[in-house]
């Protein structure tokens, strides 16, 4: 699963962010100071950094600069600093996005996934039964043979892979696919895409084992990740 470095000194905000990110299938390492953040950068592999600017012993700009010089992973500033100078500085030193507090949780998750997708750092390899997904190359294979998915079909599959323990509501899928497509995706279209994806990745689409319907709620990932 994608590993996120969270740099946030407010304990309450950090706690809520960790709960939110974990519920969305991300692994999170939290640092509350500039010094802690710089220390953990050399000890872990991260896919993205979510950074506040105002820190007790420095600022997030220094952390961002270090990340860009050593790791090159996406950086999103999540901060109360809404002045134009801070926004311009953050973007000029390489941040992919700049979000001001208070923020909307679903929008934050969408922006994180967009940054990961653009950077090609959504994770590594996923294997469910005979289905193998290499997110670095975007290649999907079933029983050793490549499966060709449309961009939205692939995005739909990634939503489940990035949320292996969670039930995904239709509303969440619609929000995610709309963000990815840049156009309106309605409920009927979602049903069509679920059906098409199952036809391509399931051994028996009439009895799906990878994308499982949770009646009255939505869907969940099956296979070895299926929730009990």
Domain with 45 in it: what CATH number? 3.40.50.2300
pLDDT of res. 33? 95
Over residues 165-177, the mean pLDDT reads 82
Q: Could you tell me if residue 200 is inside a domain?
A: yes
Over residues 76-103, the mean pLDDT reads 93
pLDDT of res. 124? 58
17 pLDDT tier (thresholds 50, 70, 90): very high
Structure tokens at 36: 């802690």
Structure tokens at 10: 């407010």
130: left (phi over 0), alpha (psi -120 to 50) or beta: alpha
Over residues 101-129, the mean pLDDT reads 80
Same domain, 93 and 45: yes
Q: Could you tell me if residue 103 is inside a domain?
A: yes
Same domain, 114 and 154: no
Whether the Cβ atoms of residue 96 and residue 67 lie closer than 8 Å to each other: no
Q: Tell the residue number behind the tokens 């009927």, with chain if given.
A: 188
pLDDT of res. 106? 87
Q: Could you tell me if residue 145 is inside a domain?
A: no
Express each pLDDT in 36-51 by its tens digit. Answer: 999 998 777 788 999 9
**What is the extent of the structural domain holding 206?**
150-225
pLDDT of res. 50? 97
Q: Could you tell me if residue 22 is inside a domain?
A: yes
Q: Point out the least confidently predicted range of 57-61, 99-103, 174-178.
A: 174-178
Give 29 or 118, the one with higher predicted confidence: 29
Q: Point out the least confidently predicted range of 20-24, 50-54, 216-220.
A: 20-24
For the chain, report the end-to-end CA distance as a whole number of angstroms: 20
Half-sphere exposure of 93 (CA within 13 A, CB side): 20
pLDDT over threshold 70, residue 170: yes
What is Dmax (Cα atoms) for the chain?
57
Mean pLDDT across the chain, nearest whole number?
85
Q: Could you tell me if residue 185 is inside a domain?
A: yes
Structure tokens at 101: 């507090």
pLDDT over threshold 60, residue 202: yes
pLDDT over threshold 80, residue 1: no
Same domain, 25 and 108: yes
Same domain, 49 and 114: yes
Domain count, the chain: 2
Give 63 or 187, the one with higher predicted confidence: 63
| C-alpha to C-alpha distance for 90 and 97, rounded to whole angstroms | 8
Among 127-131, 134-138, 161-165, top mean pLDDT goes to: 127-131
CATH number at residue 203: 1.10.10.10
């Amino acid at each position: 699963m994608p590993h996120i470095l969270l740099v946030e000194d407010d304990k309450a905000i950090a706690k809520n962010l960790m709960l939110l990110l974990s519920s969305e299938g991300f692994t999170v390492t939290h640092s509350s100071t500039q010094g802690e953040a710089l220390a953990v950068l050399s000890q872990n592999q991260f896919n993205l950094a979510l950074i506040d600017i105002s820190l007790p012993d420095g600022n997030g700009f220094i952390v961002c600069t270090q990340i860009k010089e050593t790791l090159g992973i996406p950086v999103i500033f999540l901060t109360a600093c809404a002045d134009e100078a801070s926004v311009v500085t953050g973007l000029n030193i390489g941040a992919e996005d700049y979000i001001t507090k208070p923020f909307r949780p679903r929008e934050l998750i969408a922006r994180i996934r967009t940054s990961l997708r653009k950077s090609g750092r959504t994770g590594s390899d996923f294997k469910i039964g005979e289905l193998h997904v290499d997110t670095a190359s975007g290649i999907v294979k079933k029983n050793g043979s490549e499966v060709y998915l449309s961009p939205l079909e692939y995005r739909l599959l990634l939503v489940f892979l990035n949320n292996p323990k969670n039930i995904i509501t239709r509303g969440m899928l619609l929000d995610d696919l709309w963000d990815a497509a840049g156009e309106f995706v309605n409920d009927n279209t979602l049903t069509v895409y679920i059906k098409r994806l199952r036809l391509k990745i399931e051994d028996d689409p009439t009895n799906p084992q990878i994308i499982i319907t949770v009646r009255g709620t939505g869907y969940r990932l099956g296979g070895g990740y299926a929730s009990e």
